[in-house]
Amino acid sequence: MSVCLLWVGLLHISLSVLWQAANIQAALTIDEVTLTVLPANNVESGTNVTLHCKARVSVSSLHQQLTYTFSLLQEGQVMYSKNISALEMERRLSPARVSNSGRYQCSVHIYNKHKISNTVALKVTGLQIPMLKVKSEIVSEGEDIIATCSAPEETGSLMFYFYETDQEVKRVVSTNNSVTTSLTLQKLKDNYLYCDYIVVMQHIAGHSNKSKMVKVIVKDLDVITPQISISPNVNVVEGDRVQIACTVQFNSDLELYLTKGNTLLRESRTNFTYSLVVRAEDSVDYVCKAEKGRVQKKAVYQLNVTELFSKPVLTLSPDQVYEGGRFTLTCNSTVISSAKIGKADIKYVLLKDGRRIAAVDKYFGTASLATNGNYCCMAMAKEINKTSLPFILKAKVPVSVPVLRAVNKVIVGKPFRVSCEAENGTFPITYTLLKTSVPVANMKVDKAADKAIFNITSISFPKDIHSFSCQASNHVFNETSEPLRATVIVPVSRPDLKPKEVTVTEGSDLILICSVHQGSDPITFTWYYNRVKLPYSTKEVRSLEGRHVVKAIERGQRGDYHCEASNDANETKKSYPSRISVSLALWKKALIGVFCILLLVAIVIVLTVFLKKMSNPRRKEQAAELSVKPSRPKSGDPMRISLTLDIEDNTALNGTPCVMGRNVWSENVSGSDSDDHTDEDSQLVHPQEVDLSGGELENFPSSSTVNEFLRWNHCEKAVSYSWILNILNSWFWFCFVKIKSLWTLGNCMVVLRLHNSFRASQQHTSRPLYFRTKILKLNIEWRSNTVHLCCKH
């Protein structure tokens, strides 16, 4: 139980502490942090400098003392840090050096609060003069000098520079204020050394002043200088053996070398002699070298060797060798030291591709592919061997018969190119283009990648292609090709389309034949209708003629047709257009004819019925206004009656209630013209013809309207005529619309046989009736019981 109470008490205390800490943090703020540099921001090196940091903090009333963390930063890096309870902190730089120059800041931390001061710059000028010391002021040649340069009062990282007579020889970086290093001097004289330094982090401060100079003496090591001698040293000829001696007085702890050019001949730690049989190429400088440490001494001797015989020369005869031809290889060398050897003492060996083939100075052979190779010869005398320069023998190949080919399409009348090429032959090869055996152009080819291409302007006829050939030559060999053989394309001529102008019947097949007079096959024909390509109309044929069939042609397919022809010449020619007309099908014509005949029959029946009604005698007095003119009929001639009606309401003009137009009899007929006529009939009257409805067919009144008007004016006979005219006009209008596209509506004669009562009902026989509209003009004649109707457009 007591343990539980203890834990509860500890928990209460912890929570209380945390609560108080939270209250403290919540009741504290850092108002300001300032940093100052004393005595000044710019000071001389060695001055005592103080960095003073002060903080101003606002806190609540507490009995507890607070701890602050002050930090000094130089160039953003913490250089000093301290925890204190005061609100001020100082850092002394005693004395200040150039390495202390920089930008400083002060920061203050308390709990989770933090604030940093403004930036303050400190500049310290003036570097300490360094001191230089050497371990030994006298050294031997090649020996190192141990030197120390120091600046005891400086701080920070320093870079030291070492100089020998104003020439830098070395630089070393040190984190301390001194450095010791080794120096190597090459000059064999008195050397004067000094040093200076810079602060690594303060390059702007520059170099310090120079240290005092130190004199160092370097002694020469003459005791290790070698000597070289050669025996014999005069009149040395190839094949002689010579002795080369390399010696030194002081040979302790050193190395001796004998070299010839860049070749090391001998190495030793003691004196030695080198022996060799000399050759002409041994006439060079020989060097004896002695080395001790980094010191090297040498002696040079030039050896002159006279040639025993010259270097052999391999020659070929003749200069140009062709396969199958004879050639000679000659190896020759000249004796120089005749006192030593004679011409016969020199022996020769011929080698091909490094293998010996003959021990002679002259070699004969026949050029072929097997003799091609890399040749050289070797001359030997008194153990001296000399080899000639290599000679590459490659027999030339005679040019073969060239082949002349066309590079592109050959089209009559257009330029084209040809190539001339020989399969075999050594370059360079000269190609010549011939036309009827006369040279017209030539070209030189130096390598296989090049081709001889000639441009030909054009040819006029296909047979002209065989007039070209070419010739190939490489020096002495000439070959001529066969005549040029190539497919010659003749462009198509302007095509001709048949039929030219024709009318075909609707539903039949139209065969369009497109032909050309000339052109190389295959030829492609294409047909067009009103400049639009017909479907599936492109055909490629191997003849001068192509056909296209338009199946079951329709009236909507009448119009202009043309065709185009082309071949591999890539030149398309177009024909002249052909006008194709399409007439109605025969069954349509027959159907319209049957319909017209039936319509005529119906009209005749209607006319017969109405003319019978008009033959009633009691209605004759109502025809007084009908204009009648005798036509002086002769015996057997038909009589003509002219009737002019105006169905508009013109009663106010003529005052006659039974006639809608006005008829005026303006002349009298002579007695000879009026036999068997009454007084009324003998009057010569010229009717004024009034156009029906102004000649407009659409304004022609219906039959019921005319009947009513005439009946109201008691003109029943006029009614009969109006019905006839109305029916005839309707029928002829139908004929005009339906038959115009079949036959030219120039003349249409209709013969109607009427009942005899029609003629009996007329007061005068053979009188023509004229009826005119905008569309049709109708003439009616009576000839012996026959009514003749003529309609004209």
pLDDT at position 690: 38
The angle subtended at Cα 762 by Cα 713 and Cα 651, nearest 5°, is 25
Question: What's the mean pLDDT in 365-391?
Answer: 91
How does DSSP classify residue 680? H
Tokens of 229: 């001698």
Distance CA 123, CA 780 (A): 141
Beta strands in 461-542, from DSSP E residues, in sequence order? 468-474, 477-480, 488-489, 496-498, 501-505, 510-515, 523-529, 532-533, 539-541
State the fold for domain 403-488: Immunoglobulin-like (2.60.40)
Confidence of residue 496 (pLDDT cuts 50, 70, 90): very high
Q: Is the pLDDT of residue 235 over 50?
A: yes
Domain 490-583: CATH superfamily, name plus number = Immunoglobulins (2.60.40.10)
Q: What CATH number matches the domain at 28-124, 2.40.100.10, 2.70.98.60, 2.60.40.10, 1.10.260.40? A: 2.60.40.10
| Higher pLDDT, residue 11 or 572 | 572
What is the pairing mode between strands 501-505 and 578-583? parallel
| Higher pLDDT, residue 666 or 417 | 417
Residue 721, SS3? helix
What is the pairing mode between strands 477-480 and 158-164? unpaired
Distances in whole angstroms, Cα of residue 617 to Cα of each of 218, 620, 621, 762, 779: 178, 6, 9, 10, 26
pLDDT at position 342: 87
Are the C-beta atoms of 619 and 717 separated by less than 8 Å? yes
Residues 670-710: tens digit of each pLDDT: 333 333 333 333 333 333 333 433 333 333 344 444 344 33
| Higher pLDDT, residue 337 or 732 | 337
Confidence of residue 464 (pLDDT cuts 50, 70, 90): very high
Mean pLDDT is lowest, of 364-378, 511-525, 731-745, for 731-745
Q: Is the pLDDT of residue 156 over 70?
A: yes
Residues 605-657: tens digit of each pLDDT: 998 888 888 876 545 544 444 433 443 444 444 433 333 333 333 333 333 33
Question: What's the mean pLDDT in 4-22?
Answer: 52
Strands of 452-456's sheet in order across: 403-406, 416-421, 452-456
CATH architecture of the domain formed by 222-306: Sandwich (2.60)
Mean pLDDT is lowest, of 139-153, 404-418, 755-769, for 755-769
Are the C-beta atoms of 199 and 98 separated by less than 8 Å? yes
Do 28-124 and 128-219 have matching folds?
yes
**Mean pLDDT in the chain?**
77
Q: Is the pLDDT of residue 791 over 70?
A: no
pLDDT at position 627: 39
Confidence of residue 4 (pLDDT cuts 50, 70, 90): low
pLDDT at position 141: 79
pLDDT at position 9: 56
Q: Is the pLDDT of residue 762 over 70?
A: no
Q: Is the pLDDT of residue 455 over 90?
A: yes
CATH architecture of the domain formed by 313-393: Sandwich (2.60)
Q: Residue 298 belongs to what H/E stretch? A: strand 295-302
Residues 281-320: tens digit of each pLDDT: 888 999 999 988 778 889 999 999 988 899 999 999 998 8
Q: Residue 609 belongs to what H/E stretch? A: helix 586-614
Distance CA 603, CA 624 (A): 28
Tokens of 22: 């939270």
Please report, for the chain, the start and end positions of each structural domain, with discontinuous segments joined by +.
Answer: 28-124, 128-219, 222-306, 313-393, 403-488, 490-583, 588-792
Residues 32-55: tens digit of each pLDDT: 999 999 999 999 888 899 999 999
Percent of the chain at pLDDT > 70 equals 74
Tokens 């710059």, located at residue:
121
pTM over 0.75: no
| Higher pLDDT, residue 222 or 706 | 222
pLDDT at position 783: 41
State the fold for domain 128-219: Immunoglobulin-like (2.60.40)
Confidence of residue 753 (pLDDT cuts 50, 70, 90): very low
| Higher pLDDT, residue 648 or 725 | 725
